[in-house]
Structure 1
Amino acid sequence: MLKKTILITTTIIFLVVAAFIGTSIYTLYSKKEISVDPKLKEISGIEFDKQQRLWAINDGGNEPKLYRLNKDGSIAKEILVENAKNIDWEDMTQNKFGHFFLGDFGNNKNDRRWLTIYKIENPIDIKTDTTQAEIIKFTYPEMDGTPIKPNNRNFDLEAFVALGRHLYLFTKNRTEPFDGITKVYKVGDHAANFKAELIDSFKTCTTLEKLCWITSAALSPDRKKLILLDSTSIWLFENFEGDKFFSGDVSKIDLGIVTQKEAVTFFDDNTIVFTDEEFKGIGGNAYFIKLDEAKKEIIRKKPTSEKVHP
């Protein structure tokens, strides 16, 4: 009788786990639109130009190139940034003029003192297969040259956006123990050496770093929505004031099964596109989400000011 009870319990647990995994797989792959060219199997940043064509970059160790994709995911054009190196390219964004910014600021070991952002002209205006970049350098004032302690390893970076005349950088948390906080730093958007200014922070989760550390960011074209990407979710921030991104409404969109999701952007104000890297035959795709159709978990509503009556 005991053996039969154990068998039934084991079977039920197996079925529940299988159903959960199946649901998670469906949640992700129901959003798949295209498979990305295998040359971009380490895709780490994406952006649409003003003609709504998709561009992408590869992670560190690859060529310092931008790739324009066809609608079927194949490569239509490659542009070499002649004066750039791809030490650890981790994200891509653009300003309102269509200038692209390429973030060479991956810092896995928290030991890179000076990090680089390459600013190039609007890719629509690049008629050849090469271009030159303005070079933006920055450092964190908190990194004083001494080894970073495990509980302060929050100087890795894989996400940024452009707003006004500044770039906003969202750290990828590698603290031990993991505290789930992404810090927001600000630097200028032009060629110079900057000390990054810490302006805010936000906690995702404290369960497991690989589930909720931040790997990409994007602002909607109307600059009214910010999204942050992790391995399982998109964090959506709305109704914020200026660059106080975390001051408004916060919600979360479940993306299903864990894959190496490394890049996110907006196609329009209502459509999000994200990609994952290919690993052992899994991933390597682009996925589309309509915000007005997505199931959102409300994390926090914007505080309402109460009038004080005399």
Structure 2
Amino acid sequence: MRNYLKLSFLLLLVSCGNYGQLSVVANIPDEFKETSGLVVLDENSIWLIEDKGNKDEIYKVDAKGNWLKTLKVKNGKNHDWEDLTKDKDNNVYIGDFGNNNSDRDNLKVLKIPNPDNESGDTIEAEQIEFSYPEQTDFSPKKKGLLFDAESFFYWKNSLYIITKNRATPFTGEAFIYKVPAVKGKHKAELVGTFLAGSDENTCRITSAAISPDEKTIVLIGNGMLWEFTDFTEDNFTKGNIKTVDLGVRTQLESVCFVTNTTLYLADEQNNKTGNNLYVYKLN
């Protein structure tokens, strides 16, 4: 990773405000009210997406909230883009797997080359299509709303997708699926489950990320963070788990690592609150 002295200085300047353990770094541009995914490619290159109902575009901003670049994603309609991740070569993956009603049969991840290297205003995507073998009902009742997802990360040539439980009654259980990070059609492999908690307002998983050294995985909900360390297998919940109440209840939808111990988070605008870029330091 590159030198992060600027970020360290920024951490001394930001104010804790009224956001619990999160500190506001910048306001996200007003044009983006539904940020659903973040990824950092270097210290001043933050890319974001918006979810269902928004354009097939990926946007670059800096740590001051300045809107720097827009790329239209070719071969990649925004059915419901929900998260971003990257691999070691800074290829970026867009999770088009939002599935609120568990009725989609066109789930996919879009892979684009390093957007920082694109000189034009469009970028071509490869499609990684997948399905959940455990899903047999595509018009389920409320108790069967188990196959939405807003979270994933890249690890060891695979994509790990964590579902967002929308069932009623709420069970708090999230499924962990593994999909090869290569173009084609795949059956997702169920590798584990995670019981996030019983509070449906805070324990629905909304984003995930893995640290650059691949030693830490984080999941977030609306105000909660789960930190996983000392994992060695696909089911990373078999390692150590630390649960953190961030002390804020905004609609947190995005998380990514900046360094091995520093996170950026973003929330959607809700009435007059949110739409911020935050920083959080892991202990």
Q: TM-score, structure 2 length as denominator?
A: 0.90
The residue aligned with 1:225 is 216
1:152, distance to aligned residue in structure 2 (A): 2.9
Structure 1, gaps ≥5 residues long: 1-22, 293-310
1:156, distance to aligned residue in structure 2 (A): 0.3
Correspondence 1:1-310 to 2 at 5 A? 25-28=18-21, 31-50=23-42, 52-145=44-137, 147-207=139-199, 209-292=200-283
Query: How many positions carry a matched residue from both structures?
Result: 268
1:125, distance to aligned residue in structure 2 (A): 1.9
Aligned 8 A contact 2:228 2:239 in 1:
yes
What is the rounded CA distance, in whole Å, between the counterparts of 1:261 and 1:283 in structure 2? Answer: 8
What is the rounded CA distance, in whole Å, between the counterparts of 1:203 and 1:244 in structure 2? Answer: 13
Structure 2, gaps ≥5 residues long: 1-15
What is the rounded CA distance, in whole Å, between the counterparts of 1:160 and 1:271 in structure 2? Answer: 18
1:26, distance to aligned residue in structure 2 (A): 4.5
Aligned 8 A contact 1:66 1:78 in 2:
yes
1:210, distance to aligned residue in structure 2 (A): 2.3
1:24, distance to aligned residue in structure 2 (A): 10
Letter in 2 for 1:172: K
The residue aligned with 1:3 is none
* Higher percent of residues as helix: 1
What is the rounded CA distance, in whole Å, between the counterparts of 2:68 and 2:131 in structure 1? Answer: 36
What is the rounded CA distance, in whole Å, between the counterparts of 1:276 and 1:65 in structure 2? Answer: 18
Deviation digits for residues 92-136 of structure 1 (CA, Å, limit 9, x no counterpart) = 001111110001110001111220110000112212111110011
Percent identity between the aligned chains? Answer: 38
Aligned 8 A contact 1:184 1:201 in 2:
yes
Aligned 8 A contact 1:113 1:140 in 2:
no
Q: TM-score, structure 1 length as denominator?
A: 0.83
- Based on CA coordinates, which of the two structures has the bigger radius of gyration? 1
1:150, distance to aligned residue in structure 2 (A): 2.9
